[in-house]
Structure 1
Amino acid sequence: MRWLQVAIATVLFTSLQTGLFVRPDVGHRRPRTPCRAGDTLLDWIREGGGDGTVKRDVDARGLRGLVITKPARAGDILLEVPLGLTLADGCEGPSEGAVAAGPPWSKQLPWNVQLALGVLARRKEPDWSLFLDSWPAAPILPKDMEDEDLEEAQDEDFEVKAGGTLFWLEERYEDALAAWEDAEAADPKVFWSEEEFRWAMAHVWSRCCRLDLGELGGIRRLLIPLLDMGNHDSEPSAVFDLGRSGRAVCLSATRDLQEGDPVTYSYGEHPNEHFALYYGFVPESNPYDHVKVSLTKVLQCLTLAGFPGAGDWQAARMEEVVRSGVAANSLPLRARSPPLGLLQALFALLPEASEATVLRAVAVACQCLEAEHPTTLKEDQAILDSPSSTLADGVLLLVKLRLERKKLLCGLSQTLQDLAKVFEESPEQAQAQLQELLASAQPEAEDAAMT
């Protein structure tokens, strides 16, 4: 039964996306000579016509990533990498653009598979070894965890998605092997192992950036040396884009920075679930995170909690709500705001509903959803804070994921209860606050992933 769920889950995934952005020019040059012993990645970039004032180090937060080596002002270029030093998806492209990584026989395969195969083909090439050898160990992803460990997420839907990711990978490996065999390709002489393929895919998922190269290839996914060491932040200290010359990727400061400050950029507007599945970490206070819930589940919660008016849903009103389509949808509960469709449905279903009543109803539903977890928010926090924890890193990732989910539900519940009180005291002020919350709700990012 689980295998069937996993197979069905694979249809949920489309292509991985990350950010874009803007800044000046640099010359272009492809790597021409092998990397020398003692060269740093920045030396290699400079030999290729680029430059930078960043390095990989541990920042003040204790995170390993990019830091700046000298003060910079907002708008300054921190790193510029010629396109000829980047690897792109696809099997062909303009000679002066990014290096199309995919082998010729992989044209019909998904973009991320092309890029992963290109990484494997270049691992031993002197021109690319310094870049590809700079990568740390592949991140621990849920797809590689045992079923028993996945249960620590306390979310059956997430477990199915993790299994679906693994199933998808296995199918794509078989597709790639078949394409190589059908082409009777001379390179490679021996096809890579499934373990090597998973390694490359994990790095492609967690390191590539999406960028519009314009006339040099349109929208492409790139692996960019040194830049790919930067950590994610929803309020980043830098942004990247194609420079004015259109021949280099430029990373520019979004604010004034001091020597040693972390250089971060956004990996994309994704929920925590996406970051856990494809990047192997969970960001804190993610403004794009949400908990999906159905109207049926909310009504069940209100009935179990004995909420006034719950359990006596008028058939006619229920039919009206069903016709509206709200009942069939997964509704995203966000940290600051419930979905408008849920509020409208509860207005229709709860007898003599007021704004305060509806807001309290959603608050109670959030409390019910949080209480369904086997562990509490405080217990999860204690697990993460314990210096003597013996849990594997992958399990701690899932503990962090469920902790952030509970924080979201708890925070939204409190926000709505507070707003309900304001409605009773100052309806006009409360209405303005509610409209502001609804307007600030982040649109759901495309949960891209695979093909």
Structure 2
Amino acid sequence: MATLFGILRRAAATRQYWVQARLSSTAASRQGELIDWVKVNGGSVSHAISISYPNAATGAGLQAAQACKAGDRLVHLPAHCQLTYGDNTSPKLMSLIEKVPQELWGAKLALQVLQERCLGTKSFFRHYISNLPVGVPGIPLFFSQDAIKALEEYPPLSQQVKRRCRWLVSFADGELADAASSSGDPFEGQRIDANMLGWAMAVTTSRAFRVRGPDKPAAQLPLIDMCNHSFAPNCQVFPGQDGSVDLVASRDIQASEPLLLSYGNLSNDFFLLDYGFLVPLNPFDAVAVRFDVAFFQAANALSKQKVDDEALDTVEDFQEALLAELKLAGPEADRELMVRRSLPSCSPRAVAAARILSAQDAAELAGRSAESLGQWKQAVSPINEVKALRMLAGVAFFVLSRFPATLEQDKQLLAGQSAGPLPDDMALAVQFRLGKKQLMAELLHDLANRIKALAMQPIGRQDSTAAAHHSTGNPGKRSYSTSTAAWTVKDVLR
């Protein structure tokens, strides 16, 4: 794997090839040429917007040159000015695109971008291509070994990075090498290596739109795709007639404000992997947890509820049926759960699973569907709810314990207290894993407050009777004292 990342890290040097291939003009003139290109080809660009170009590494952005009103159309882009693949793609290139796995949709579009790059001044999209960034430094594909190692503390992301790297090298050394040595090479005889393919994939995943729907090829939208992200955007993209696309102000915008779009309610996994940045305190961030009965029951034991070791990885028939309804059991199971920073935003399937596994018998869940069990406000009973919340707290604690470094250690690293300032990629990796730890810490705090609130609620006669019935259940089942009808949930917390 060291060799693999070394290959991609050399992109900084090989990307100089692309710099030399750019049109011989200044950044300002390239921007003006792009705006003129859109206008000449049937589009429109409002005089109220301008392109900001901080440096070649980070690429361009859009901002308001003067105040805009809500509803103003800022850019109109005809369908033929949207860079995508399909009917007009050469058969040779299309055969390569079809060999790319569907989950790597960005790589499919990347091949079309590379062809346009190789065409140089012959490309219809040459003015757009010349404005693309030279590098996408925040994308983990180009991280150092140390930064990748830091990401390995959170396997759901690091495994995706490694899979992409392996595919890039394999595809470049295989299919692309074969295409270069055959007739009809779609890349004008230029050798496309893993670096170049990685650069194009980073450019497409960080800029592409699904304007034609989720099942259709993605597209690069010149000018429009320069807008940066915000969960409180001031612009929106709307489909127009004949496949055109419009960028429209969604509120009044002041002069010099950046034009912002929402890339979606995404977790920081997606933002880092595809866009190369993180959103601090992202309300949509999550920690991926793989559901396993033994894992959840071990978390239950960790929360100081008494569990027989023999009970681990075993469930009753009624529990198995409800877990299958949640697709957490059975041959078609999808066991990935997205756990968030508070119970209301937590995965409904995670909440439902905890309530199901905390139930004493089928009667306790009678009349409840798996879907309703995932609605956090609809507890089964105070006793069941405390047990379920403690189980979820155990899961969160387990996740935290798997990180070798603590929250404080990561904060010290970022502050430069350990070994001085971190390289940019290492800082991003540490910020990413720190965010996951903070998320789990906040969830634990929320669960603790909810358990404490429940502990103050007295249990009615019906609940105490049910608890007494449960205490005489099957051997190995959890049992609780019911010596008095006036007991409270505090008994469960002991």
For this structure pair, what is the TM-score category when the shorter chain's length is used for normalisation?
Answer: 0.7 to 0.9
Question: How far apart are 1:87 and its partner, in Å?
Answer: 0.8
Flag the 1:264–1:302 CA change in 2: closer, same or farther, 3 A: same
Corresponding residue number in structure 1 for 2:140: 142
What CA deviation, in whole Å up to 9, does each residue of 1:87-122 have, x standing for no partner? 1122x24xxxxxxxx443022324644532332232
| Deviates most, 403-412 or 379-388 | 379-388
**Aligned AA (2:449):** D
Per the alignment, in what secondary structure is the counterpart of residue 87 of structure 1?
A: coil
- The answer as to 2:387 corresponding to 1:357 is yes
Corresponding residue number in structure 1 for 2:36: 43
**Aligned AA (1:139):** V
- The answer as to 2:61 corresponding to 1:55 is no
CA distance in 2, matches of 1:113, 1:178: 17
CA distance in 2, matches of 1:35, 1:54: 25
Flag the 1:178–1:356 CA change in 2: closer, same or farther, 3 A: same
Corresponding residue number in structure 1 for 2:111: 117
- The answer as to 2:267 corresponding to 1:237 is no
Flag the 1:47–1:292 CA change in 2: closer, same or farther, 3 A: same
CA distance in 2, matches of 1:230, 1:385: 30
**Aligned AA (2:250):** T
Per the alignment, in what secondary structure is the counterpart of residue 221 of structure 1?
A: coil
Corresponding residue number in structure 1 for 2:12: none
CA distance in 2, matches of 1:64, 1:390: 27
Per the alignment, in what secondary structure is the counterpart of residue 260 of structure 2?
A: strand
Question: How far apart are 1:67 and its partner, in Å?
Answer: 2.0
Corresponding residue number in structure 2 for 1:172: 171
Corresponding residue number in structure 2 for 1:449: none
User: What does 1:179-218 align with in structure 2 at a 5 Å threshold?
Assistant: 179=179, 181-185=181-185, 188-212=188-212
Corresponding residue number in structure 2 for 1:13: none
- Does the aligned pair in 2 maintain the 1:74–1:256 contact within 8 Å? yes
Q: Which sections of structure 1, spanning at least 5 residues, go unmatched?
A: 7-33, 94-101, 429-451
Corresponding residue number in structure 2 for 1:416: 447
Flag the 1:120–1:280 CA change in 2: closer, same or farther, 3 A: same
**Aligned AA (2:165):** L
Corresponding residue number in structure 2 for 1:377: 407
Per the alignment, in what secondary structure is the counterpart of residue 309 of structure 1?
A: coil
- Does the aligned pair in 2 maintain the 1:301–1:369 contact within 8 Å? no
Q: Which sections of structure 2, spanning at least 5 residues, go unmatched?
A: 6-22, 361-382, 460-494
**Aligned AA (1:210):** R
- The answer as to 2:347 corresponding to 1:339 is yes
Flag the 1:292–1:196 CA change in 2: closer, same or farther, 3 A: closer
- Does the aligned pair in 2 maintain the 1:106–1:179 contact within 8 Å? no
TM-score (norm 2): 0.67
CA distance in 1, matches of 2:52, 2:420: 26
Question: How far apart are 1:427 and its partner, in Å?
Answer: 9.4
What CA deviation, in whole Å up to 9, does each residue of 1:6-50 have, x standing for no partner? 9xxxxxxxxxxxxxxxxxxxxxxxxxxx99873523333333332
- Does the aligned pair in 1 maintain the 2:339–2:350 contact within 8 Å? no
Structure with larger RCO (C-alpha < 8 A, sep 6+): 1
CA distance in 1, matches of 2:194, 2:349: 45
Flag the 1:385–1:370 CA change in 2: closer, same or farther, 3 A: same
User: What does 1:27-38 align with in structure 2 at a 5 Å threshold?
Assistant: 38=29
* 1:309 alignment partner, one of 306, 330, 354: 306
Corresponding residue number in structure 2 for 1:274: 270
Structure of higher CA gyration radius: 2
- Does the aligned pair in 1 maintain the 2:414–2:430 contact within 8 Å? yes
CA distance in 2, matches of 1:69, 1:426: 59
- Does the aligned pair in 1 maintain the 2:297–2:312 contact within 8 Å? no
What CA deviation, in whole Å up to 9, does each residue of 1:216-246 have, x standing for no partner? xx93311112222211223322221222x33
Per the alignment, in what secondary structure is the counterpart of residue 287 of structure 2?
A: strand
**Aligned AA (1:119):** V
CA distance in 2, matches of 1:364, 1:400: 24
CA distance in 2, matches of 1:198, 1:161: 14
Question: How far apart are 1:358 and its partner, in Å?
Answer: 1.9
Corresponding residue number in structure 1 for 2:295: 297
CA distance in 1, matches of 2:225, 2:305: 53
Per the alignment, in what secondary structure is the counterpart of residue 61 of structure 2?
A: strand
Corresponding residue number in structure 1 for 2:129: 132
CA distance in 1, matches of 2:219, 2:250: 22
- Does the aligned pair in 2 maintain the 1:302–1:361 contact within 8 Å? yes
CA distance in 2, matches of 1:299, 1:415: 21
Flag the 1:404–1:192 CA change in 2: closer, same or farther, 3 A: same
Paired residue total: 382
- The answer as to 2:405 corresponding to 1:407 is no
Flag the 1:170–1:401 CA change in 2: closer, same or farther, 3 A: same
TM-score (norm 1): 0.73
Question: How far apart are 1:408 and its partner, in Å?
Answer: 1.6
Per the alignment, in what secondary structure is the counterpart of residue 158 of structure 1?
A: helix
State the Cα RMSD in Å. Answer: 3.6
**Aligned AA (2:409):** E
- The answer as to 2:162 corresponding to 1:163 is yes
Specify which structure has the higher proportion of strand. 1
Per the alignment, in what secondary structure is the counterpart of residue 398 of structure 1?
A: helix
**Aligned AA (2:285):** D
What CA deviation, in whole Å up to 9, does each residue of 1:350-404 have, x standing for no partner? 4774313322332343234224322233433443355995322222221121122
- The answer as to 2:91 corresponding to 1:104 is yes
Paired-residue identity, %: 24
